[in-house]
Structure 1
Amino acid sequence: MLIAGFPAGGFQTNCYVVAPAAGEECVIVDPGQDAVEGVDDLLREHRLKPVAVVLTHGHLDHVWSVAPVCGARDVPAWIHPDDRHLLSDPGAAFSRESAALFGGITLSEPGDVRELTDGATLELAGLELVVDHTPGHTRGSVSFRLPSDDVMFSGDLLFAGSIGRTDLPGGDYPTILRSLATKCLPLPDDTVVLPGHGPQTTIGRERATNPYLKEAAPHAGPTRGI
């Protein structure tokens, strides 16, 4: 298994490429702000051919470069239907005051957009990606698992020591706690978590140390990321 990534743009959103091995087909996860050059570098370095882009949710720091990345390689983008509107209307994910900060940004859907469903298995590039609908950060948030390798791409559901913020439109704190309880806590402790921001972690480490995964969760959610 080959997994490589880099933090993209000012938001430092982790973008990943995933392939069975170097020189084969791959999947791109969350190409965010200014991610095109970094994606191209990884594809050249590992001699990879992308077949799809998969998106953990529709916030602009995760989808900023999806249209140019998909367009340059003529590949589809996969996103949950509850977040699909954010591909062309990123301001809908923010309060009126916050949206004003991004007023000059124009995004568009790629030419080929396909919708994710909870529990589906995507067979792409010789990989089997299991889709888990994990709302709470946004209504259409998902995580992707590679069960054969005990790897989870958590997006902004779960970080090392924290979880995604829930104070933006579409966010809901009790809902994200349910997503964590039903989609994360049942996983084996040695499951590697590759989050949307920050360093990788494991389910076991977060189960033992993350206050939001403990039985007595804080009454209010965090405000990390966008």
Structure 2
Amino acid sequence: MLVLGFPAGPLQANCYVLARGDGQPCVVVDPGQEASEPLRAQLREHGLTPAAVLLTHGHFDHVFSAGEVCRAYDVPAWIHPDDRFMLADPGAALGPAGRQLFGDVAMAEPADVREIADGERLELAGITFEVTHTPGHTGGSVLFGTATDEGGRLVLSGDTLFAGSIGRTDLPGGDHERMLHSLRTKVLPLADDTAVLPGHGPTTTIERERASNPFLQDLPAPVPPRD
């Protein structure tokens, strides 16, 4: 599997591109501010054609270029329904302090927006993605998990989980208790060797975060499912 990634915009949000290989259709994840030009360069270099845009949550630094990408390649965008409103009004997620800091953020909503649900499986560009709803950073935050051709697992964690930290929960729609519940019930059960591609910062693994991330270390272990 081909996995590309680059940080974009003032907040350095990671945009990812996944495909079966060069010259194949691909999926674009979280095309945020100033992502269009570096994305086009990656697509040209590897001969890729977007088949869909996946959005881990609705904050503008992750979705700002989604409308432009979707229009350019005539593809849909997928987002959890609890965050869909941010595509039309990204400032709604900033709050008064955020609006003062960033000003009014204006962007075009994708023409074709499709809603995703917890546990849903998406077959896109020859890749199967499993959706896991992880509210906390926002009400509609999700993980996108998939298996690699080499037999490993990876998860696109958005702003739910970072290397050594987690997403903030003090913005409108954030909820710290829901975040801790999502971490305990949705993140901790993931296999140790799962590669984590976060919304900001470097990649990591569940094993590394389980051992060193202070937000995970104090959580009670999830109760294993009954047979």
Place the TM-score, normalised by the shorter chain, in its bin.
Answer: over 0.9
8 Å contact kept, 1:118–1:131? yes
Match of 2:209 in 1: 206
Match of 1:169 in 2: 172
8 Å contact kept, 1:130–1:147? no
Match of 1:30 in 2: 30
Matches within 5 A, 1:1-226: 1-148=1-148, 149-215=152-218
8 Å contact kept, 1:56–1:79? yes
Match of 1:223 in 2: none
Q: Which 4+ runs in 1 deviate beyond 2 A? A: 100-105
Structure 1 residues 85-94 or 53-62, which shifts more?
Answer: 85-94
8 Å contact kept, 2:33–2:63? yes
8 Å contact kept, 2:91–2:104? no
- Partners of 2:147 and 2:179 lie apart in 1 by 22
- Partners of 1:112 and 1:186 lie apart in 2 by 33
Pairwise CA distance, 1:76 = 0.4
The two structures have a TM-score, normalised by structure 2, of 0.93
8 Å contact kept, 2:147–2:154? yes
Corresponding letter in the other structure for 1:134: T
- Partners of 1:5 and 1:155 lie apart in 2 by 13
Q: Percent identical across equivalent pairs?
A: 61
- Partners of 2:219 and 2:39 lie apart in 1 by 40
8 Å contact kept, 1:17–1:29? yes
Which runs of 5 or more residues in structure 2 are unaligned? 221-227
Aligned length: 217
Corresponding letter in the other structure for 1:209: S
8 Å contact kept, 2:26–2:49? yes
- Partners of 1:3 and 1:39 lie apart in 2 by 13
- Partners of 1:181 and 1:126 lie apart in 2 by 31
8 Å contact kept, 2:184–2:219? no
Corresponding letter in the other structure for 1:42: Q
Q: 3-state SS of the aligned residue for 2:215?
A: coil
Q: 3-state SS of the aligned residue for 1:212?
A: helix
Measured against aligned partners, the alpha-carbon deviations of 1:34-58 in whole angstroms (never above 9, x if no partner) come to 1000110111111111100000000
Q: 3-state SS of the aligned residue for 1:153?
A: strand
Which runs of 5 or more residues in structure 1 are unaligned? 218-226
Pairwise CA distance, 1:105 = 2.2
Pairwise CA distance, 1:97 = 2.5
8 Å contact kept, 1:133–1:143? yes
